[in-house]
């Protein structure tokens, strides 16, 4: 072991376990790629103010959880705690909204950083696959994203998840509700920090998990009763479209997300097998974010699914992903056969066959152990006598059958057998 360990709240992904993460990222992004979303990659850090303004000055993410640093040149940066603000910043910087049809549909996959108290399912470094549809106000877009996430989870084999749906209103109706809620909260017996939160972001108080707070919230004004007609109609359309697609959801009027940019549609995917960190993904509409970071009005919607928690959810359900072995053919070279088999492996790889060879001058027993461990379907074994006869031994690792094949034909034979 080295003197060093992965930093607190982080962990390494090691093969073969790491293959699960690749498979999950692939399964989440596949439906997006087929629905017109283009891949975007942004830097791992941004101007700290992008998140302060975008995610919200009063959110836990900005006040407590950002990894910040000052460069030698004096610029204040933050490791990205989430992807939406960065993706919108990049889209605006590249004027994507002026170049083609709206919405601009983008997907991404990467690492995110939050200085949180680590526990199962909550890390300081985690990974998300996300999607953002920028520049259109259309309930079908909100519905599309929810349906695509549902599809991704179902393709992976996940069953025990629920979709919680809410509308947070817009700039017309939310301020009216906010005032009504604040007036209600001022009449309660709350601790100092919660009183402060009630003044800055009263909706977050509804999300307080403590029983003594929840008890007092009975009878609080609900946003549903304050939604303006436009928001109500929009929400009903989203609900109708998801229902028509056969995707089950639950209305959750208490769903408040931990980021301030949301308007109207908000949703969360929660899983029953994860304990307190039950959200495997979440998202919603953020019609005002572009203006908050200095851009034009660009109503948008998106989500991010947590890869770490999705893997945990799959494990909680006992779902085994169908991950093909990394190697199809494993070469075992004996005597002076190494250069020839090394050449054969190179040729196989060029022909698109996943191939590997035993290294380090092992004997037959050790090299066959490597072949077994690799999960390869076939082993190609050759020693001096085989090469003198112009053949290699081809062993079917499943049936154990072995036969001689002409060296000149082995690439074609293997390609045909593996097709
Ligand atoms: P979020 O709800 O903060 O939303 O994060 C999305 C998902 O990332 C969570 O549901 C969870 O699975 C995962 N996640 C968040 N924090 C952690 C952590 N500390 N450890 C492990 N997993 C974590 C957003 O990030 C928004 N940008 C989503 C969005 C996109 N909204 C609109 N577009």
Residue pLDDT, tens place only, 126-138: 999 999 999 999 9
128: annotated binding-site residue?
yes
Closest to 96 (Cα-Cα) out of 38, 36, 34:
38
Measured CA to CA in angstroms, residue 166 lies from 249, 253, 266 at distances of 10, 5, 5
Do the domains 329-418 and 18-173+227-317 match in fold?
A: no
Q: How far is the CA of 128 from the centre of ligand 1 (A)?
A: 7
Q: What is the mean pLDDT of residues 71-78?
A: 98
- In this model, does residue 209 exceed pLDDT 90? no
Q: How far is the CA of 106 from the centre of ligand 1 (A)?
A: 17
What pLDDT shows up at residue 325? 85
What pLDDT shows up at residue 100? 79
Give the residue whose CA is nearest to atom 2 of ligand 1.
282
- In this model, does residue 35 exceed pLDDT 90? yes
What pLDDT shows up at residue 258? 85
If one residue of 32, 110, 128 were mutated to test the ligand 1 pocket, choosing by the most ligand atoms within 8 A of its CB, it would be 128
302 lines ligand 1 (CB under 6 A): yes
- In this model, does residue 187 exceed pLDDT 90? yes
Find the range with the poorest average confidence among 62-66, 163-167, 264-268, 310-314.
Answer: 62-66
Q: What is the mean pLDDT of residues 6-27?
A: 97
Torsion sign over Cα 182, 186, 190, 196: positive
Give the residue whose CA is nearest to atom 13 of ligand 1.
306
402: annotated binding-site residue?
no
Under the banding of pLDDT at 50, 70 and 90, the label for residue 200 is: confident
262: annotated binding-site residue?
yes
Please tell me the CATH superfamily of domain 329-418, with its number. Answer: Anticodon-binding domain (3.40.50.800)
92, two tokens: 């605006």
- In this model, does residue 206 exceed pLDDT 90? no
H/E stretch holding 150 reads helix 139-156
Length of the chain in residues, anyone? Answer: 419
Q: What is the mean pLDDT of residues 195-222?
A: 90
Q: What is the mean pLDDT of residues 364-368?
A: 95
What pLDDT shows up at residue 229? 97
Specify the higher pLDDT residue, 325 or 114. 114
Measured CA to CA in angstroms, residue 281 lies from 130, 149, 253, 305, 307 at distances of 9, 9, 18, 4, 9
What pLDDT shows up at residue 208? 85
Contacts with 208 (C-beta within 8 Å, 6 or more apart), sequence order: 194, 214, 217
Domain ranges for the chain, please list them: 18-173+227-317, 329-418
Q: How far is the CA of 307 from the centre of ligand 1 (A)?
A: 10
CA distance 153 to 270: 11
Q: What is the mean pLDDT of residues 373-379?
A: 96
What pLDDT shows up at residue 50? 97
- In this model, does residue 361 exceed pLDDT 90? no
The domain made up of 18-173+227-317 is a member of CATH 2.60.40.1120: no
- In this model, does residue 339 exceed pLDDT 90? yes
What pLDDT shows up at residue 417? 95
CA distance 33 to 25: 12
What pLDDT shows up at residue 197? 86
- In this model, does residue 57 exceed pLDDT 90? no
Per-chain mean pLDDT for the chain: 95
Contacts with 419 (C-beta within 8 Å, 6 or more apart), sequence order: none
What pLDDT shows up at residue 257? 87
CA distance 396 to 393: 10
What pLDDT shows up at residue 387? 95
3-state DSSP assignment of residue 355: strand
- In this model, does residue 31 exceed pLDDT 90? yes
Percent of the residues in the chain that have a pLDDT greater than 70, as a whole number: 100
- Determine phi and psi for 361, rounding to 5 degrees: 65, 40
User: pLDDT tens across 249-281, in order?
Assistant: 999 988 988 888 999 999 999 999 999 899 999
């Amino acid at each position: 072991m080295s003197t060093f360990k992965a930093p607190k709240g982080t962990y390494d992904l090691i093969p073969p376990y790491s293959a699960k993460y690749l498979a999950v990222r692939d399964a989440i992004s596949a439906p997006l790629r087929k629905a017109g979303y283009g891949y975007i990659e942004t830097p791992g850090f941004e101007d700290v103010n992008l998140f302060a303004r975008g995610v919200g000055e009063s959110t836990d993410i900005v006040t407590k959880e950002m990894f910040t640093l000052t460069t030698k040149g004096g610029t204040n940066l933050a490791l990205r705690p989430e992807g939406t603000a960065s993706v919108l910043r990049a889209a605006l910087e590249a004027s994507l909204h002026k170049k083609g049809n709206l919405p601009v549909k983008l997907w991404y996959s990467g690492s995110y950083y939050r200085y949180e108290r680590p526990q199962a399912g909550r890390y300081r470094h985690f990974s998300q696959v996300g999607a953002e549809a920028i520049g259109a106000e259309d309930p079908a877009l909100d519905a599309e994203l929810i349906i695509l996430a549902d599809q991704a989870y179902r393709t992976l084999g996940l069953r025990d998840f629920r979709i919680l749906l809410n509308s947070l209103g817009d700039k017309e109706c939310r301020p009216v509700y906010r005032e009504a809620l604040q007036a209600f909260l001022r009449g309660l017996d709350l601790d100092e920090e919660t009183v402060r939160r009630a003044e800055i972001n009263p909706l977050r108080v509804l999300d307080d998990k403590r029983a003594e707070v929840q008890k007092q919230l009975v009878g609080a004004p609900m946003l549903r009763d304050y939604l303006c007609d436009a928001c109500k109609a929009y929400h009903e359309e989203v609900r109708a479209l998801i229902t028509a697609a056969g995707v089950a959801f639950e209305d959750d009027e208490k769903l408040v997300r931990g980021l301030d940019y949301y308007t109207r549609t908000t949703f969360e995917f929660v899983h029953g097998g994860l304990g307190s960190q039950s959200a495997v993904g979440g998202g919603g509409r953020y019609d005002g974010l572009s203006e908050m970071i200095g851009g034009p009005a660009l109503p948008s919607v998106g989500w991010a699914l947590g890869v770490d928690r999705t893997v945990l959810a799959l494990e909680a359900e006992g779902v085994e992903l169908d991950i093909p072995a990394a190697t199809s053919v494993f070469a075992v070279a004996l005597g002076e056969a190494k250069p020839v088999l090394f050449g054969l492996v190179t040729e196989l790889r060029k022909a698109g066959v996943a191939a590997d060879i035993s290294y380090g001058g092992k004997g037959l027993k050790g090299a066959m152990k490597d072949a077994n461990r690799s999960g390869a379907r076939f082993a190609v074994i050759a020693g001096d006598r085989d090469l003198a006869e112009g053949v290699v031994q081809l062993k079917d690792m499943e049936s154990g059958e072995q036969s001689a094949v002409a060296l000149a034909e082995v690439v074609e034979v293997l390609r045909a057998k593996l097709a």
